[in-house]
């Protein structure tokens, strides 16, 4: 069993090798308010910084009423949180949508599931070089996430924007593009790196959490955006064996409470939408 310190070190090394230079690209502990009482029962949850960890800090306030203290461990890597959960270093994680979780379970045989759908983050196409889709020239380079589910999702964003056509299917890749009249170059990169390459490519399809972290507003700054009817709801992932435990029930209830719904609606102004 790997210890969480090893997992976090691995996350830092992986991101460092990818050329990351931002100070927030690390895993760290963030303690949500717990009322200062040592008798409170602790729940350890892994999350990406924005909006997940930010939402969880508010959840911590709700959980105080049920006698729980929430400990948040932040990750900027999409792979390690599920490994940490499967190896019982976390009680739950909150960073991924359903297709990503299902793909991870299929590939790694983790005995994971989810309890509640919390919010949807619309994916958008961003550019530092153009202001309108019509300005994309022949051969323009467009960066997308390199993981299977978000890569497929990004291709659908491009398709819905009328830039390409892709064959039917859930986990499509760039080799499944059936029409690319302007010969766009599709470059696959780590999702966390996409905001940083906007100056090097013509456009990039970026997950909302990384867009928000880079001070990009999906509804204002994106030149094309995913429909709010997207099936990619972000969920609370847990081990199957723990789904009915009292602490997980309390966490699930807090995440879908009226207080958190109000917080999401007011804090993110439509860029993050409650899914409950």
pLDDT at 14 over 60: no
Cite the beta strand spans of 123-272 per DSSP E.
124-126, 141-145, 165-166, 177-179, 185-189, 203-206, 224-225, 233-239
Find the helix packing angle between 54-63 and 246-255, rounded to 10°: 120
For the chain, give every domain's residue range.
Answer: 4-121+232-274, 124-225
Question: To the nearest whole number, what is the mean pLDDT of the chain?
Answer: 88
Mean pLDDT, rounded, for 113-125: 95
> Which fold does the domain 124-225 belong to in CATH?
D-Maltodextrin-Binding Protein; domain 2 (3.40.190)
User: Do 111 and 240 meet the contact criterion of CB atoms below 8 Å apart?
Assistant: yes
Q: Encoding tokens for residue 62?
A: 């709700």
- Secondary structure percentages of the chain, helix, strand, coil, to 5: 40, 25, 35
Residue with tokens 């969480």: 4
What fold, for 4-121+232-274? D-Maltodextrin-Binding Protein; domain 2 (3.40.190)
- pLDDT tens digits for 42-88? 999 999 999 999 999 999 999 999 999 999 999 999 999 999 999 99
Is there a shared CATH topology between the 4-121+232-274 domain and the 124-225 domain? Answer: yes
- What is the helix (H) or strand (E) element at residue 245, kind and residue range? none
pLDDT at 181 over 70: yes
Asked if residue 4 has pLDDT above 50, the reply is no
The whole-model pTM stands at: 0.73
Instruction: Check residue 34 and give its pLDDT.
Output: 52
| Mean pLDDT along residues 95-103 | 94
């Amino acid at each position: 069993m790997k210890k969480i310190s090893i997992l976090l070190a691995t996350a830092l090394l992986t991101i460092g090798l990818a050329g990351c230079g931002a100070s927030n690209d690390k895993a760290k502990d963030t303690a949500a308010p717990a009322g200062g009482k040592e008798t409170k029962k602790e729940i350890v949850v892994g999350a990406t910084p924005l909006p997940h960890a930010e939402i969880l800090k508010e959840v911590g306030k709700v959980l105080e009423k049920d006698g729980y203290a929430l400990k948040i461990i932040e990750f900027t890597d999409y792979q390690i949180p599920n490994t940490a959960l499967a190896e019982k270093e976390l009680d739950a994680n909150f960073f991924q949508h359903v297709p990503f979780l299902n793909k991870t379970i299929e590939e790694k045989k983790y005995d994971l599931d989810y309890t509640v759908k919390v919010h949807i983050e619309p994916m958008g196409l961003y550019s530092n070089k153009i202001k309108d889709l019509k300005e994309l020239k022949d051969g323009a380079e467009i960066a997308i996430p390199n993981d299977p589910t978000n890569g497929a999702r990004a291709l659908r964003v491009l398709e819905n924007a009328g830039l390409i056509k892709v064959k039917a299917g859930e986990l499509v890749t760039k080799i499944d593009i059936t029409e690319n009249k302007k010969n766009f170059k599709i470059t696959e990169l780590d999702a966390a790196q996409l905001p940083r390459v906007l100056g090097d490519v013509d456009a990039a399809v970026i997950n909302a959490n990384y867009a928000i972290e880079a001070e990009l507003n999906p509804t204002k700054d994106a030149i094309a955006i995913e429909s709010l009817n997207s099936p990619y709801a972000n969920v609370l992932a847990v081990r199957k064996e723990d789904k009915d435990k009292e602490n997980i029930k309390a966490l699930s209830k807090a995440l879908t409470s009226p207080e958190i719904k109000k917080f999401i609606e007011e804090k993110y102004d439509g860029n993050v939408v409650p899914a409950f």
